[in-house]
Structure 1
Amino acid sequence: MKALIVIDFTKDFVTGSLPVGQPAVEIDETIAAVTEAYCMNKHEVIMAVDLHEENDPYHPETVLFPPHNIRNTEGRQLYGRLAQVMEERKTDIQWMDKTRYSAFCGTDLELRLRARGITDIALIGVCTDICILHTAVDAYNKGFHITVYEDAVASFNPAGHEWALGHFRSSLGASVVKASETVLA
């Protein structure tokens, strides 16, 4: 069984207060198309979306990054065509708040996946070298098979993006493939 985890593709992370910028804008259509394909094939689809509280002095990211993905703000809304896909397929997609880089940390993600017999997960979204990376490491340590669609992940750090893609392959045994040549072909 397969699941797609769409990580942090929100307005704040694409063009907002902590923007990946053009690299994220360029994958908007691929993110939406992969999400639709997984829904159409009846695979589990989970939106793992960063959540922060305004002026939270205890969250470790408060000192590392500007405020972003604050509860009930426009910046926390899904970006671009993915927002439309979510609206059209809301019965096929699960929303999951996360408060750390990894979608597994402090959430019931593993429980959701195990309950559905899922052994293979695919990761898309931003940032390749932060939230995608930490989610992939946790998935590896929990025994999941991992696919990363390299044309559906992006980062504001080009060197970090390339390093993470290599790390997925060499240290996590992940399949790093193009969605355009596999799931969307």
Structure 2
Amino acid sequence: MKKALIIVDYSNDFVATDGKLTCGEPGQEIEQNIYDKVEEYKSNQDSIFYLMDYHHENDPYHPETKLFPPHNIIGTEGRDLYNTLKSQYEEIQDFKNVFWLDKTRYSAFFGTNLDSLLRERKIDTVEIVGVCTDICVLHTAVDAYNLNYKIIIPKNCVASFNQAGHDWALTHFENSIGAVVE
């Protein structure tokens, strides 16, 4: 088993108290757990992928424009990694096994070269962390399942603004796509 860590949307807009589409306290509570997970992968020299949502301001063609307030706008602080994860990333960003990929849809696989990068490295297992459990983490996990990756979801590294959706997604990961939820 060769693993990679996928960090989904852990940005100021999704996590900070004043974020444009924040999950707030639940997202803030997992910060140290994600930080520690990155340190674990770094020390093992395993691949780490930061997948970050991005939008253009006032984009009338993006489907999320009708669903959510503007968030993760290119060139804004809202799109920066939240708190200590930003400085941690700045320290490791030049390592050969650390990748930053922009994404324009919920899934980290849609419209990105994530699958190619994973396959080139012979990675068969993805550990997915970040926010929101029932939106972007969920869609990323379902696509990973459809691409035949083994999936690990650490409960203490995912969060949502919707507790019922969070709980449902954790059950769905385990019961419907065979993920290991630990």
- If the TM-score is normalised by the length of the shorter chain, which range does it land in? over 0.9
Aligned partners of 1:80 and 1:176: how far apart in 2?
26
- Structure 1: unaligned runs, 5 residues or longer: 178-185
Amino acid in the other structure paired with 1:163: W
Q: CA deviation at 1:49?
A: 0.3
Q: Does 1:2 align with 2:3?
A: yes
Aligned partners of 2:39 and 2:90: how far apart in 1?
11
1:112-170 CA-partner distances (Å, limit 9, x unpaired): 00011000000000000000000000000000000001100000000000000000000
| 1:58 aligned to which of 56, 61, 72 | 61
3-state SS in 1 of match to 2:156: strand
Q: TM-score, normalised by structure 2?
A: 0.96
Q: Does 1:41 align with 2:57?
A: no
Percent identical pairs in the alignment equals 54
What is the aligned partner in structure 2 of residue 105 from structure 1? 110
Amino acid in the other structure paired with 1:104: F
Q: Does 1:156 align with 2:157?
A: no
Aligned partners of 2:171 and 2:38: how far apart in 1?
24
What is the aligned partner in structure 2 of residue 70 from structure 1? 73
Amino acid in the other structure paired with 2:79: R
Count of aligned pairs between the two proteins? 177
Superposed, 1:98-177 pairs within 5 Å as: 98-177=103-182
Aligned partners of 1:128 and 1:42: how far apart in 2?
26
Aligned partners of 2:62 and 2:7: how far apart in 1?
23
**Aligned-pair RMSD on alpha carbons?**
0.6
Runs of 4+ in 1 over 3 A off after TM superposition: none
3-state SS in 1 of match to 2:45: coil
